[in-house]
Amino acid sequence: MDAYKLLITGGTPLVGETYVSGGKNTSVAVIPAALLSDEPCTLENLPDIEDVRVLAEILEGLGAKVHYDAVARRMTLDPRGVNTCRVPYKQSQRMRASYYLLGALLGRCGQAEVGYPGGCSIGARPVDQHLKAFRALGAEVEERGAIITAKGRMVGTAVFFDRITVGGTINAMLAAAKAEGTTVLYNVAREPHVVDLANFLNSMGCRVKGAGTDIIRITGAQHLHGSTYTVIPDQIETGTLMIAAAATRGDVVIRGCIPTHMEALTAKLLEMGVAVSDMDDAIRVRTVRGHRAVNVKTQEYPGFPTDLQQPMSALLTRASGDSVVIETIFESRFKHLTEMQRMGAHVRILDQTAIIEGVSELYGAPVTATDLRAGAALVIAGLMATGTTEIYEPGYIERGYEHIEEKLRSLGAKIWREPLEAR
């Protein structure tokens, strides 16, 4: 249980300028990818978040030399000291992206022993497609006692994913980067972080083509050299800030983002009546009239991202009319709406569909974050509500949002923490 709670007194429009940090889901892929190099790598623009710090510790445990300068957002990573390919269950459970160590260690050492991944409880989240790709590349894979063991020489091949998976795509790319010959991955994820990983691998001397389309070709290289690489901005943080600006009927410029990554959200906000304008590397969001209800169905990129469904559905609780939100990626991603019922939200949930009847007022209440984006959704709910909302288990939010409280405060939000004893 977290030692503090987050308090928000809502009702203040967010106004001003803020910036976006480096991408969480790209950082947690690029950091393990550096293990494939034969030389030190420098990664820039890594967000100062819990997931990055945990991954750095896990890599140190493997024998890599890691130095993370959280102020400069820079990590130097020398993988030459890696002396084990084993990540114990207790470590792997600390985050979802620990599964990338399977692909990265297979690529580096030809073997990996990694406990089942942890991370947000938003559905069953199997890894069968990851393992299928490793097997196709030549690994013998065993699952025993919540530990996955994979061993073998990676040889280029064709892999056809049965469903689109971000984690599976990235893990297969990691395992294939040093494989002998060419690997072709079909039906892959097209998310911006898949492209970012491909760019990083290419900067180390690998040949990855097609990232961003649904077929990726990887020609492995025996030796990958060091590289200095800057990760892309976080599109989910960008989207969360955009939604927060709309939710408070504010006027916010979000700098340092990539507007083309935001098109699915931008289209929905425009449909709601929110004014969104794109600049080169910034987006301005402001509310000029009431918000209309809209329907949202999550999809793989470039569709509406599941990671923004939770903040978006929080916003829709106060739109005028009924919205239907269909979550197609994860089975259990509406827990924030159940919490928001305590704040006056009118919601019916039927399996993976939420029917949201917009209300004119939400009121502050004690609520609990059950996962990262649920936490972000509850922050948005708190910013919209009359009175003070208390969010318990806010530590989830720190896993993925850099300095979110400071960023929101700089825009005028009344958000602060209190130790739990003060309850």
Angle subtended at Cα 210 by Cα 205 and Cα 213, rounded to the nearest 5 degrees:
150
Q: Is 163 in the site for ligand EPU (CB under 6 A)?
A: yes
Bond preceding residue 302 cis, omega within 30 of 0: yes
28 belongs to the binding site for ligand EPU (CB under 6 A):
yes
User: CB within 8 A of 399, min separation 6: which ones?
Assistant: 24, 49, 50, 51, 95, 372
**Residue 313 touches ligand EPU, criterion: CB under 6 A:** no
Tell me the site size for ligand EPU, rule CB under 6 A: 26
Least distance to ligand EPU, CB of residue 372, Å: 4
Q: Is 31 in the site for ligand EPU (CB under 6 A)?
A: no
Among 85, 120, 206, 257, the one annotated catalytic: 120
Question: What is the gyration radius of the CA atoms in the chain, in angstroms?
Answer: 21
Q: What part of residues 167-186 is at the interface with ligand EPU (CB under 6 A)? A: 167-168
Q: Which pair of tokens denotes residue 164?
A: 């689109």
Candidate residues 306, 317, 370, 389; the one interacting with ligand EPU per rule CB under 6 A? 306
| 127 lies in the site for ligand EPU, by CB under 6 A | yes
249 interacts with ligand EPU by CB under 6 A: no
Q: Which of 54, 85, 79 is nearest to 66 (CA)?
A: 79
Assess whether 85 carries a catalytic annotation. no
Task: Tell the smallest beta-carbon distance from residue 399 to ligand EPU (Å).
Answer: 8
CB of 161 to ligand EPU, least distance (A): 8
Listing DSSP states for 205-253 in one string gives: T-EEE-BTBSEEEEE--S-----EEEPPB-HHHHHHHHHHHHHTT-EEE
With contacts defined by CB under 6 A, name the span among 135-143, 158-166, 382-390, 401-409 that binds ligand EPU: 158-166
* Interaction between residue 240 and ligand EPU (CB under 6 A): no
Smallest distance from ligand EPU to CB 397, Å:
11
Strand, helix or coil for residue 410: helix
- The distance from CA 23 to its chain's CA centroid, rounded to whole angstroms, is 7
Residue pair 299/265 in contact (Cβ under 8 Å)? The answer is: no
User: What's the CA gap between 362 and 313, in Å, rounded?
Assistant: 14
Question: Contact, 307 vs 269, CB < 8 A?
Answer: no
- Residue 268 within binding range of ligand EPU, rule CB under 6 A: no
Select 51 or 405, whichever has its Cβ closest to ligand EPU.
51
Q: Is 330 in the site for ligand EPU (CB under 6 A)?
A: yes
Binding to ligand EPU (CB under 6 A) within 42-81 occurs at none
Rounded to whole angstroms, the Cα distance separating 133 from 175 reads 9
- Phi and psi (nearest 5°) for 162? -75, -25
Minimum distance, C-beta of residue 291 to ligand EPU, in the bound complex (Å): 24
Among 261, 286, 336, 373, binds ligand EPU (CB under 6 A): 373
For residue 374, give the 3-state DSSP assignment: helix
Give the residue closest to ligand EPU by C-beta. 167
Q: Which of 18, 37, 165, 238 binds ligand EPU (CB under 6 A)?
A: 165
